[in-house]
Amino acid sequence: MKSTKRRALLRNATLLAAGGAAGLAIPGSAAAQARTPFTVAPTFIPVAGSSEVFPVRRIYCIGRNYAAHAREMGSDPTREPPFFFQKPTDAVQNVPPDTIIDHPYPPLTKNYHYEIELVAALATGGRNIPMDRALEHVFGYTTGLDMTRRDLQRAMGEEKKPWEIGKSFDHSAPLGPLQRVASVGHFTKGAIWLKVNGEIKQNADLSQMIWSVAEQISKLSEAFELAPGDIIYSGTPENVGPVVKGDVMQGHIDGLPDIRVKVV
Ligand code: MN
């Protein structure tokens, strides 16, 4: 073997070893042999109280999971089964504790909305997970914002086109560090609220969710094989509304640290 080729293989082995240590999935033996022309940054969420980080695989979001929010969006909450959409993994914007971070106002919208949500993160996955075992798959929880270009979402909906451009854009998933289940337990009730510039905008209780986190995991696993690294935005309560540049959002869920985000 030529020394240049050997060096290249060694370099790749080192890269793969580094990737493996960081928990990156490199599927297929062909990929394991291949060199990459560039690197793609993986997405991680810090784990509170540790030096660990949680590698993100997929971001699932449930729509219209509080009755009053379903009504304000123009649907009938009594008849609708849960439905899901996704955001790209790198939509995550990590919000450190006790810090106000800058959040860029996105392009193309004139009606940029907050949605405060409980976020569950999975340590294990599977298919057809029964509801009574679903919470065993949860690694931890955090407070998140499902930021939404509402004008684009509505326009696409009216044309029966995908929501993607309204929901699945850069930085559209700000969230706090993950709190382990061992520290915070599971969430079936407790206040969830959002303030903008100190004024309460959304204010509800987690017990008002139509589909619980356990039901969400179970239902999702009928449609998709869930896996470690998947996170689930569990839906927002009523009174979603707009923010503009300069606004500071504060998100709160009882039992979790608040997050603070400034739109710039
Ligand atoms: Mn949402």
| Residue 167 CA, ligand 1 centroid: distance in Å | 9
Q: How far is the CA of 209 from the centre of ligand 1 (A)?
A: 12
CATH number of 43-263: 3.90.850.10
pLDDT in the model for residue 180: 98
Q: What is the per-residue pLDDT across 33-47, written as a single tens digit (0 to 9) for each?
A: 789 999 999 999 999
pLDDT digits (tens, 9 = 90+) for 64-112: 999 888 889 888 777 678 899 999 999 999 999 999 999 999 999 999 9
For residue 52, how far is its CA from the centre of ligand 1 (angstroms)? 27
Q: How far does residue 168's CA lie from ligand 1's centre (Å)?
A: 11
Dmax (CA) for the chain in angstroms is: 69
Calculate how far, in angstroms, residue 115's C-alpha sits from the geometric centre of ligand 1.
6
Provide the pLDDT for residue 225.
98
The Å distance, Cα 104 to ligand 1 centre, comes to 19
For residue 223, give the nearest of 91, 129, 133 by alpha carbon: 129
pLDDT of residue 28: 59
Nearest-angstrom CA–CA distance, 35 and 31: 8
Query: Where along the chain do its domains lie?
Result: 1-40, 43-263
Question: What pLDDT, on the 0 to 100 scale, is given for residue 9?
Answer: 40
Distance 88 CA to ligand 1 centre (A): 14
Q: How far is the CA of 162 from the centre of ligand 1 (A)?
A: 15
CA of 76 to the centre of ligand 1 (A): 17
For 81-141, the DSSP string reads PPEEEEE-GGGEEE--TT-EEEEPPPTT-S-EEE-EEEEEEESS-BSS--HHHHGGGEEEE
Q: What is the pLDDT of residue 31?
A: 59
How far does the centroid of ligand 1 lie from the alpha carbon of residue 33, in Å?
40
Low-confidence residues in the chain, pLDDT < 70: 1-32, 79
Burial class of 242 by CB neighbour count within 10 A (0 to 12, 13 to 18, 19+): middle
* pTM assigned to the model: 0.88
HEC string of 225-248 equals CECCCCEEECCCCCCCEECCCCCE
Distance of CA 59 from the midpoint of ligand 1 (Å)? 12
**Distance between alpha carbon 140 and the CA centroid of its chain, in Å?**
12
CA of 62 from ligand 1 middle (Å) equals: 6
* Dist. CA 116 → ligand 1 center (Å): 8
> How many angstroms does the Cα of residue 183 sit away from the middle of ligand 1?
25
pLDDT at 77 (0 to 100): 79
Encoded tokens for 88: 């790209």
- In this prediction, residue 32 carries a pLDDT of 63
Query: Which has the closest alpha carbon to 96: 174, 2, 10, 182?
Result: 174
Q: How far is the CA of 234 from the centre of ligand 1 (A)?
A: 7
Q: Compute the distance from residue 235 Cα to the ligand 1 centre, in Å.
A: 5
